[in-house]
Amino acid sequence: MIMPYEIKTEKVKNSRLPGIDFDKVPFGKVFTDHMLVAEYYDGEWQETSIMPFQELRLSPASTVLHYGQEIFEGLKAYRDHDGKPYLFRPYENFKRMNFSADRMVMPQIPEEIFMGGIKELISLDQGWIPTNPGGSLYIRPFMIANDEYVGIRVSENYKFVVFCCPVNSYYSEPIKIKIEQKYVRAARGGTGEAKTGGNYAASLYALSKGRQLGYTQMLWTDAIEHKWIQECGTMNVFFVIGDKVITPNLDGSILQGVTRDSLLTLLRDNEYKVEVRPISVDELVEAHRAGQLKEVFGAGTAAVIAQIKAIGYNDEDLVLPPFDSWEVSNWLYKTLTGIKHFDLPDKYGWMVKI
């Protein structure tokens, strides 16, 4: 009999790794050799297995397919100069996964399964961690509700799955974003703070309209007045206005980003003037008119730091200054990637050895 949390492993016969060129992998389309699956039923976590990357078998009546009870995470693995694998701040993702699980009425995932499972999976697939500049191994844990039942209720069966992709930058160049003042990603009291697929699904209609106009992402605003800035959907957002670095406070409708938190730590420890507070569309537009909007950038695990070259507002583009003057985001990018790639000291203990 298999004891709960014991991880049973079936290895691939032939690795696909020799055919992979890390410099050329597109984001999220190339998968490592193995994945992890844990099953929850009868009120507890049962078998946990590592197996060759493969399709999941689900009933067409599986609850996740109809009602979207699902959550996910995104974290990254890197190597040190000796080639040893590390995870960047994985306990933050572990905590946020269980925060999202609570909000979506799903079971808590034990540390042995989340952390233990990811460590074992990454040890096995460590050859897939890129070492090229800007490369990393993106790890995607997720949990789905899996009752075979067409009615609405909190499910009793769940699957927790982890798979991984070697990746380069999510955005290969600076992007244009558009202030969204009609559609809503998340409202207070909703699920905006949980990392659940529905938030992303809800953003797609406005996103597709924005894409037709040449914007890569929406800059979401609050659901009631469309006055207060929230986040970008793929990342949190930061503004440099005058000599201050400003990011919206966590008000329950935006994601508690791990990269956001890391940047705030770096900024505060290096004497930058940081303000975490509500920021309105009017303040942004006025700062731009006054020549005080110096930098706008997104922060996320996939995106890392994404510089924004213009913000669409009504029918105009607020164009940002040339990037060589962007002292804050260029410094943050160098510092954060320096820590992740072991070129700078890890004084916060963010890199966790596998």
Which of 253, 301, 307, 329 touches ligand COI (CB under 6 A)?
301
- The 56-95 site mask, x for binding ligand COI (CB under 6 A), equals ------------------x---------------------
Instruction: Identify which of residues 63 and 301 has a Cβ nearer to ligand COI in the complex.
Output: 301
Beta strands in the chain (DSSP E): 7-9, 34-41, 44-52, 70-72, 75-79, 85-88, 136-145, 158-167, 175-179, 217-219, 236-241, 244-247, 273-276, 293-300, 304-313, 316-319, 351-353
Interface residues for ligand COI in 15-34 (CB under 6 A)? none
| DSSP letter (8 states) at residue 5 | T
CA-atom Rg of the chain in angstroms: 21
Contact 175, 309 (CB under 8 A): yes
Contacts of 113 (CB under 8 A, 6+ apart): 5, 38, 45, 48, 160
Smallest gap from Cβ 302 to ligand COI, in A, equals 3
Smallest gap from Cβ 278 to ligand COI, in A, equals 23
Residue with tokens 């200054």: 321
Q: Is 167 in the site for ligand COI (CB under 6 A)?
A: no
Applying CB under 6 A, which part among 141-149, 224-232, 274-282, 296-304 lies near ligand COI?
A: 296-304
Whether the CA torsion 119, 121, 125, 131 is positive or negative: it is negative
Smallest gap from Cβ 300 to ligand COI, in A, equals 4
Q: Is 236 in the site for ligand COI (CB under 6 A)?
A: no
Applying CB under 6 A, which part among 36-44, 63-71, 295-303, 309-317 lies near ligand COI?
A: 295-303
For residue 286, the one-letter residue type is: E
Q: Is 234 in the site for ligand COI (CB under 6 A)?
A: yes
Smallest gap from Cβ 73 to ligand COI, in A, equals 7
Q: Is 302 in the site for ligand COI (CB under 6 A)?
A: yes
Kindly determine how many residues on this chain lie close enough to bind ligand COI according to the rule CB under 6 A.
5
Residue with tokens 């260029």: 330
**Residues of this chain that bind ligand COI (CB under 6 A):** 74, 234, 300-302
